[in-house]
A = this chain, B = another copy of it.
Amino acid sequence: MSTIKDIARETGLGLATISSYLNGGNVRPQNKILIQEAIEKLDYQRNDIARSLKTAKTNTIGVIIPQIDDAYFSKVVATISSSLYEHAYSMLVVDFGLDIKREKQAVEFLCSKQVSGIIDMPSNLTTRHLDRAMNQKVPIVLFDRAMPGKDLPVVKSDNFLAIDLAVDHLVRNGHRHIGFISGNQKIETAREREAAYYKALAKRGIKKKTSYVHRCDYVQQDSAAESAHKIIESNPEITALIASNMITMMGALQAFNEMDLRIPGEMSFVGFDDVRFAKAYNPQLTIIEQPIETIARQSVEILLREIEHKEKQEDLIKIYEPRLVEGKSVRKL
């Protein structure tokens, strides 16, 4: 592995000249050629570790995620990755499998690695796991999750609108007995969507019934399927079911299969997030689609702005609107 010393020796020039050339500085044309030749001859490639040590910049962003192995999160990561790539940043991914301890470890790990910034999709209700990063002034953007009073920028979609759209669509089609698969209330997304469900019913004068709602772990398809079973079996009058994220959608469909329930004949259904899946399913599913790419890109933009211009943006919270994509999984009563 050759270093700039080698190429300095090879060319007879000084270290600073080489470094200057490498970083686009002013170098006499004939020396440029000389250096370029030496670089090719010695197969030189810059050592970014050494560079990072000196400049105290890694141009690497840490992404903390509950689980990559999930259509929603993997789409998020993919978008963040390509957006980062366009800005010449790299991405260090840590998934913590919803384990709070590991989430904290992840932050400390990333700080040790001197990441330039962190995008975090927190699974719990505090920011304590972020303390170290905040102490070290590592810029952070929260994804899908607001932390009141912490003054961290947040990017998320409008969970109230999302569920309101779903309920509205069902009510317009004559449904009044609407089940709702919710999730672990430590996850803000789940909390807000459940609250949104109750609010949407109230707004339309429909009495809520707590047995219409069941909370799964929001992570495993089987857990979601179980919730669907419980809701439907203990409330046979239900004519429609809403899944409040990707996983619960899959779980609900699995449960329908297990119970041999036909959509939309015997049960109307509104799913969440995965358009490609919705298109492949038979019948095509009506779903709520979040603007994942927009949100993910935006999180990168905000983070990089803070890193590069040091412009701390006070109380920044960006909320994007989901939309309802109509399929054939809702029956008109």
Contacts and interface: CB of A to CB of B under 8 A. Distances in A.
- Indicate the member of A75, A79, A113 with the most B CB atoms within 10 Å: A113
Contacts of A276: 221, 250, 254
A224 to B, nearest CB: 10
B280 A250 contact: yes
B221 A250 contact: no
Contact of A48 (B67, B112, B253, B284): B112
A95 interface: yes
Contacts of A283: 257
Contact of A112 (B46, B85, B263): B46
A113 B282 contact: no
A68 B68 contact: yes
Interface string A256-288: 110000010000000000001101111110000
Main secondary structure of the interface of A (DSSP, over half): helix
A1 B47 CA distance: 24
A33 interface: no
Interface residues on A, range: 35 or more
Contacts of A91: 92-94
A92 to B, nearest CB: 6
A47 B52 CA distance: 11
Contact of A132 (B45, B60, B69, B282): B45
Contacts of A16: none
A111 interface: yes
Nearest to A57: B49
B94 A81 contact: yes
A270 to B, nearest CB: 15
State the copy count for this chain. Answer: 2
B45 A49 contact: no
Contacts of A46: 112
A258 B179 CA distance: 29
Contacts of A313: none
Interface string A191-227: 0000000000000000000000000000001000000
B58 A68 contact: no
A82 interface: yes
A108 interface: yes
Interface of A: 1, 43, 45-50, 52-53, 58, 60, 67-71, 74-75, 77-79, 81-82, 85, 90-95, 97, 108-109, 111-114, 132, 135-136, 221, 250-251, 253-254, 256-257, 263, 276-277, 279-284
Given A53-B53, A69-B78, A71-B74, 15 more contacts: A46-B112, A48-B113, A49-B53, A49-B58, A49-B114, A69-B74, A81-B95, A91-B94, A92-B92, A221-B280, A250-B280, A254-B279, A257-B280, A257-B283, A282-B282
